């Protein structure tokens, strides 16, 4: 899938509503917001003019065209380049689990589905599963059926949930859980399908799934060992 990205913004918590309204003006109404806590030293905070370490992290899906507009707006309107305001970056998506989910996540952004991510040689991918709160075990059970490992869960609040009726034909709760699972690329499609079949829009979990390419890893030796062929006896 070309020209589609996960945009992440890390900002001070007191500006969360301002940034959510800013995104909405640029046609990005579907965002997932979670709280974070910075770990910078007092010296570094003073150097960059930061007044605290409490952060909000906003996840959104944007097209390349939307990112260019938003980047300009972040600099001119939100003055993100001023020390202490925040930082935003994008990561290319490799796939989204279903056309309805694609339309929902991109909303009013103009996007035509193209080829998958240009990062062709990756061995692993990061699955991002966004679901109603309280259904993590249902999702992980579906993923484990296709040999997925463990996941990491964060709590988030969604915005733009009213657009779900338009694109998905369902009503979504604003309280969300985001599950991150690193999987082998060869297993990605099977795991995504299992999650969509058992914990997708027809279930109470109402999961939306997409994946991000992972260029390099550490700590995945167990999976890498499973991939290696057995040594031949001499």
Question: Residue 141: how many CB atoms within 10 A of its CB?
Answer: 14
Q: Where are the alpha helices (DSSP H) in the chain?
A: 16-25, 42-48, 64-76, 99-106, 136-144, 164-167, 185-199, 221-227
168-224 pLDDT tens trace: 888 888 999 999 999 999 999 999 999 999 999 999 999 999 999 988 778 765 555
The residue ranking higher by pLDDT, 51 or 218, is: 218
Given a cut of 70, whether residue 230 has pLDDT beyond it is no
Q: Is 124 or 117 the better-scoring residue by pLDDT? A: 124
Domains of the chain: 4-92 (3.30.70.120), 95-222 (3.30.70.120)
Higher per-residue confidence, 147 vs 233? 147
The answer to whether residue 29 scores a pLDDT higher than 80 is yes
pLDDT at position 127? 96
Please choose, from the candidates 87, 65, 72, the residue with its C-alpha nearest in 3D space to the C-alpha of residue 5: 65
User: What pLDDT does 194 receive?
Assistant: 97
Q: Which of these, 232, 7, 10, 220, lies nearest to 109 by C-alpha position?
A: 7
Q: Is a pLDDT exceeding 90 seen at residue 23?
A: yes
Tens-place pLDDT, residues 74-101? 999 999 888 778 899 999 998 899 888 9
Bridge partners of 211? 95, 127
Of the listed ranges 45-49, 66-70, 155-159, the least confidently predicted one is: 45-49
- pLDDT of res. 1: 46
What proportion of the chain, given as a percentage, has pLDDT over 90? 54
């Amino acid at each position: 899938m070309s020209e589609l990205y996960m945009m992440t913004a890390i900002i001070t918590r007191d500006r969360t509503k301002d940034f959510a309204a800013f995104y909405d003006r640029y046609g990005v109404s579907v965002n997932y917001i979670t709280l974070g806590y910075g770990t910078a030293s007092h010296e570094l905070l003073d150097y960059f003019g930061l007044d605290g370490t409490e952060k909000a992290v906003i996840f959104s899906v944007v097209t390349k065209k939307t990112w260019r507009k938003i980047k300009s707006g972040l600099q001119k309107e939100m003055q993100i380049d001023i020390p202490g305001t925040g930082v935003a970056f994008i990561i290319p998506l490799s796939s989204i689990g279903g056309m309805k989910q694609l339309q929902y996540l991109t909303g009013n952004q103009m996007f035509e589905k193209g080829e998958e991510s240009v990062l062709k040689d990756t061995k692993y991918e990061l699955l991002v599963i966004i679901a109603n709160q309280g259904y993590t075990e249902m999702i992980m059970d579906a993923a484990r059926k296709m040999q997925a490992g463990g996941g990491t869960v964060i709590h988030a609040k969604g915005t733009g949930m009213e657009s779900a009726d338009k694109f998905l034909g369902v009503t979504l709760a604003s309280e969300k859980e985001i599950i991150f699972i690193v999987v082998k690329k060869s297993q990605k499609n099977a795991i995504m399908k299992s999650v969509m079949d058992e914990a997708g829009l027809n279930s109470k979990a109402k999961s939306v799934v997409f994946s991000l390419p992972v260029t390099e890893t550490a700590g995945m030796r167990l999976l890498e060992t499973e991939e290696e062929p057995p040594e031949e006896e001499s």
